[in-house]
């Protein structure tokens, strides 16, 4: 059982998260150990992703990052973990009701029209999460906020842009 303990507070969160070695040996030389094994979770963002997925039933959830450039890597990591969970459980989905699925498909098509067919945000939205930052067009940011507000999007990755005058219903904020 994993634990997250805050240094300055007497708060401890118990999770099912365990740090595991992903790779301890060289791929090309199986008998030779790596100097530094590769572990998961490796970063605080990996832990944030796992927490968001563990607490998905208490949605809506925001994963907050102060750095705009980290939004993409958090999105990719979240998508990878969703795909991993779907490979283990074919019924795993962030979004279960048809109304939300239709709303997210419509939003994903709007993203593709505005930003291009291969834009990762459209795929993220179809999986049930999105991101919000200042480089997105105003109308897309507003549409994402509305989808989050109506609980169609259960997980939102956000930068300080979201905190500037937006009031959203959040049950869990991971910073």
The radius of gyration of the chain from alpha carbons, rounded to an integer in Å, stands at: 18
Q: Are 95 and 57 in contact (CB under 8 A)?
A: no
Q: Which two tokens stand for residue 82?
A: 């969703």
Q: Which two tokens stand for residue 97?
A: 């009701």
Helix, strand, coil percent content, the chain, rounded in steps of 5: 45, 20, 35
Q: Are 108 and 127 in contact (CB under 8 A)?
A: no
What pLDDT was estimated at residue 63?
87
- Short-list 142, 151, 155, CA closest to 169: 151
pTM of the model: 0.74
pLDDT along the chain (175 residues), means of 10: 50 52 57 63 71 75 86 91 90 89 95 92 94 90 91 89 68 71
End-to-end Cα separation, the chain, in angstroms: 22
Q: How many CA atoms lie within 13 A of 94 on its CB side?
A: 29
C-alpha–C-alpha distance, residues 100 and 128, integer Å: 9
């Amino acid at each position: 059982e994993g634990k997250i303990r805050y240094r300055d507070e007497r708060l401890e969160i118990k999770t099912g998260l365990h740090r595991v070695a992903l790779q301890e040996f060289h791929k090309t030389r199986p008998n030779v150990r790596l100097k530094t094994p590769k572990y998961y979770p490796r970063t605080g963002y990996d832990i944030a992703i796992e927490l968001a997925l563990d607490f998905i039933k208490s949605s809506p959830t925001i994963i907050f990052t102060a750095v705009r450039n980290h939004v993409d890597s958090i999105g990719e990591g979240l998508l990878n973990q969703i795909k991993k969970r779907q490979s283990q459980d074919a019924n795993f989905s962030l979004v279960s009701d048809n109304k939300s699925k239709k709303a997210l498909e419509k939003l994903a098509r709007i993203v593709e029209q505005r930003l291009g067919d291969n834009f990762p945000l459209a795929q993220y939205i179809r999986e049930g999460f999105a991101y919000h930052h200042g480089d997105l067009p105003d109308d897309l940011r507003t549409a994402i906020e509305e989808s989050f507000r109506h609980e169609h999007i259960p997980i939102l990755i956000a930068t300080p842009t979201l905190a500037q005058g937006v009031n959203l219903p959040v049950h869990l904020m991971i910073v």
